[in-house]
């Protein structure tokens, strides 16, 4: 097989450094790596999650690229300088990556980490990207990327606009945030059960949200 044909089988997965972004990406990764080379782009926090996947790190059809990221919306002069520095260093690293590998497609799972790779691939190398939005409320990064995405995949009938008034809905980062009911109705709520360690959902809803392909492969 030629180098060129190998390059056409490269798929890039991009996820921010929280479990809510990383775990859905890993679930898809274990499925598509059976027939494709997968390159995972994330930040330092996301890489810490991947380090727990011992059987994944030594596989030849998988690589990780770490980029430095900070929210562009953080206030303060120091944060603005940090953002500029991280932007330039990550831009150079990503340009080198796309020149070298020329991936066939890319999938973004949310978080500011996804912004630069998706836009560089699309604008400079004509690599289409897809969005996977696993939350009822679309995050800022995915909202920025959605107009230029080939397709957006969501697990709900509709994405709730960020401006919707959810202040009366009780939720906590330590409780399951699986949405129950119609967001437009008064009885809408989040599950509220204790979360499964490392995930935003309880035991029951983690089984629905995450595909355990490793045990089935």
The most confident of 49-63, 89-103, 122-136, 202-216, by mean pLDDT: 89-103
What residues does each domain of the chain span? 3-156, 165-217
- pLDDT, one tens digit per residue, over 181-192 is 776 666 778 888
- Give residue 47's pLDDT: 93
- Give residue 214's pLDDT: 46
Helix (H, G, I), strand (E, B), or coil: what is residue 153? strand
Mean pLDDT score, 63-70: 93
Model confidence at 166: pLDDT above 60: no
Please give the model's pTM, rounded to 2 decimal places: 0.70
- pLDDT, one tens digit per residue, over 10-21 is 999 999 988 889
- How many angstroms separate the CA atoms of 106 and 116, rounded? 12
- How many angstroms separate the CA atoms of 33 and 28, rounded? 9
The DSSP secondary structure of 179-208, one letter per residue, reads EES-TTSTT-EE--SBPPTTSSS-HHHHHH
- Give residue 57's pLDDT: 80
Model confidence at 207: pLDDT above 60: yes
Q: Are residues 195 and 202 in contact, defined by beta-carbon separation less than 8 angstroms?
A: yes
User: For the domain 3-156, what is the CATH superfamily, name and number?
Assistant: Glycogen Phosphorylase B; (3.40.50.2000)
- pLDDT, one tens digit per residue, over 78-130 is 989 999 999 999 999 999 999 999 999 999 999 999 999 999 999 999 999 99
153 — phi, psi (to 5°)? Answer: -100, 125
Model confidence at 205: pLDDT above 50: yes
Q: Are residues 94 and 116 in contact, defined by beta-carbon separation less than 8 angstroms?
A: yes
- Give residue 170's pLDDT: 62
């Amino acid at each position: 097989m030629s180098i060129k044909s190998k390059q056409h089988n490269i798929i890039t997965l991009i996820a921010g450094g929280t479990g809510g972004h990383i775990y859905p990406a890993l679930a898809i990764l274990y499925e598509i790596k059976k027939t494709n080379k997968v390159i995972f782009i994330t930040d330092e926090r996301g890489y810490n999650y991947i380090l727990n996947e011992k059987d994944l790190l030594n596989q030849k059809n998988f690589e990780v690229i770490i980029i430095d990221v900070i929210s562009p919306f953080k206030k303060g002069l120091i944060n603005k300088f940090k953002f500029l520095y991280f932007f330039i260093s990550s831009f150079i690293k990503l340009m080198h990556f796309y020149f070298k590998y020329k991936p066939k497609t890319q999938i973004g799972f949310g978080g500011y980490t996804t912004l630069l790779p998706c836009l560089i691939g699309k604008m400079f190398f004509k690599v289409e990207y897809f969005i996977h939005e696993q939350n009822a409320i679309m995050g800022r990064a995915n909202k920025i990327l959605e107009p230029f995405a080939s397709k957006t995949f969501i697990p709900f009938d509709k994405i709730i606009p960020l401006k919707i008034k959810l202040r009366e809905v009780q939720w906590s980062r330590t409780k399951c945030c699986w949405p129950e009911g119609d967001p437009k109705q008064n009885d809408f709520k989040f599950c509220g059960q204790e979360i499964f360690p490392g995930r935003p959902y309880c035991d029951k809803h983690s089984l629905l949200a995450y595909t355990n392909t490793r045990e089935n492969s």
